[in-house]
Amino acid sequence: MTSAFYELTVSHFLILSAALFMIGVAGVLLRRNALIVMMSIELMLNAANISVVAFSRAYAGQPEAAFQGQAFALIVIAIAAAEAAVGLAIVVTVFRSRRHSDIDRLTLLKN
Amino acid sequence: MNTSILRGLVAMAVAVLLVAIFTEPSLALAAEQTVGRDVTTYTFHNSKGVAFLFWFLAAATIGGAIFVITRRNMVTAVMGMVGTFFAIAGLFLMLYASFLAVIQVLVYAGAIMVLFVFVIMILNRPESEPWAIHGLLGKGLAAIGLLYLFKRLASLLWQVKDTHALVLAKDQLGVEVILNHADPELMSRFGGNIRNLDVGSIKEICESGLAICRDYDFGSVQGVGYTLFSDYLLPFEAVSIVLLVAVVGAIAIARPAPEAVAEVSDETPTPEPS
């Protein structure tokens, strides 16, 4: 038990990333505000980034694979920025026409 | 259906899930392998201070994330998220990804969170009912299901082994020595005390060409940039186009319409009687 506490492995980072992902999933499932749902999506993207960078560290001994995880994480950050911009624009537009951003009440396309 | 029958069914499902969690066979297997495995090969060779730093950053990450999904005030949630992002940047530093840590602070904590704060200020509408699921049973079921999923995932992830490389960074030489544990010649020569190599042995390994010795730059801007502009050139350029499309799309969506937009009601519009 103390060795698991003091001696870090790549598993520590992976389990932390899994926990962060779970919290993001809980936020998406439980919250009704569209902004909080988008923030939970950002949390999940960050969890994926942590695991990718941890694997990059674990495979640092292979020179052809050394930086691939970090390059991948950079691309994920760029995609997350684009997603946040478009998503927030949609939230603002929806709020402007409906005076709320409650995802449970946005059921115009249902049925 | 009767409410009491429904509640009984939900309670039974909760009980079955609880039993399934605590009698999970792969968990016992993972615990056994944790005790029996060779920890000297797979760890990061960190000091105790680094371990405490990791646990502090992990607690900040998880605490900030829980803050995000539980607060009713949205500005408070954004502040918790900024804390989470700073802690993640610290974790990136621990994983030798210094460039990525800087980008994390600049892009996430600097740009995306400012965007969120702007939108919250524009909307300026307090939440009336923050949670989607009513009742204690539904919440308990969701929490137990999530915990079960997390336990399955964690027991799987705990068995991930870093068998390919052991990164030994020595301050005296200023180089990073990367050993390949699959190399039989290297293992036969240094196999006994691969963990406690001194400077002479590291020089010997570097000169013999058995391991990769390079400048201490793992995670630097140079290394990441070289990978990004050689192997990942096409995704890099594709991302630039995605960002351009996102900027144009965001402006096109959020721009106020020239004529006043009619208020859309929540109800489905009833057809006009003809």
Q: How far is B46 from B53, CA to CA, in rounded Å?
A: 11
Chain B positions touching A76 (Cβ under 8 A) are: none
Subunit contact B123:A101, Cβ cutoff 8 A: yes
Does A6 or A23 have the greater pLDDT score? A23
Residue A110 half-sphere exposure toward CB, CA atoms < 13 A: 9
Q: How far is B16 from B3, CA to CA, in rounded Å?
A: 20
Question: How many residues does this entry show for chain B?
Answer: 274
* Predicted ipTM > 0.90: yes
CB atoms within 10 A of CB B187: 15
DSSP state of B72: S
Interval B48-58: pLDDT, tens: 788 889 999 99
Amino acid at B36: G
Q: How far is B122 from B107, CA to CA, in rounded Å?
A: 21
With H, G, I as helix, E, B as strand and everything else as coil, classify residue B116.
Answer: helix
Counting Cβ atoms within 10 Å, is residue B265 exposed (0-12), middle (13-18) or buried (19+)? exposed
Interval A24-39: pLDDT, tens: 988 888 888 889 999 9
Q: How far is B13 from B71, CA to CA, in rounded Å?
A: 29
Does residue B36 surpass a pLDDT of 50? no
pLDDT band at B165 (very low <50, low <70, confident <90, very high): very low
Does residue A79 surpass a pLDDT of 50? yes
| Portion 178-237 of B in contact with A at CB < 8 A | 178-180, 212, 218-219, 223-224, 226-228, 231-232, 235-236
pLDDT at B60: 95
Provide the β-strand partners of residue B167.
Answer: B178
Q: Is the CB of B82 inside 8 Å of chain A's CB atoms?
A: no
Residues in contact with B132: Cβ distance below 8 Å, sequence separation at least 6, in sequence order? A29, A30, A31, A32, A104
Question: How many residues does this entry show for chain A?
Answer: 111
Query: Which of A55, A30, A7, A53 lies closest to B157 in space, CA to CA?
Result: A55
Interval B52-90: pLDDT, tens: 899 999 999 999 999 998 888 888 899 999 999 999 999
pLDDT at B223: 78
Interval B9-34: pLDDT, tens: 777 777 666 666 655 555 444 444 44
Q: How far is B72 from A40, CA to CA, in rounded Å?
A: 14
